[in-house]
Amino acid sequence: MKKAIWNGAVLAESDETIEVEGNQYFPAAALDPQYFSASERHTVCSWKGTASYFHVTVDGTQNADAAWTYPAPLPAAENITDYVAFWRGVEVVDA
């Protein structure tokens, strides 16, 4: 079981994460939606496709673009469709 934690809050928890390039991707259904809002940021990976980002907000403090997903990944990354990963200080720990 993995947990994504930031600012004392559990953002996501799952035993069905997928590791890609050292990042744990959580199923979207494992996220606590109260902490997430859509960002306008997008980046492109040559083999995964276009990533969309989310801001994470806990107790009024925002961590901009702290989570990302590939809503329509390229074929090589289809296994992370509807999965979300974290950075910018979000800790992923074994529960």
Q: Which domain holds residue 66?
A: 2-94
Whether the pLDDT of residue 95 is over 90: the answer is: no
Residue 23 tokens read as 């990042």
pTM for the whole thing?
0.96
Whether the pLDDT of residue 92 is over 90: the answer is: yes
Query: In this predicted model, what pLDDT tens digit does every residue of 19-69 receive, in sequence order?
Result: 999 999 999 999 999 999 999 999 999 999 999 999 999 999 999 999 999
Query: In this predicted model, what pLDDT tens digit does every residue of 70-82 receive, in sequence order?
Result: 999 999 999 999 9
Structural domains of the chain, count: 1
Domain CATH for 33: 2.170.150.40
pLDDT at 69: 98
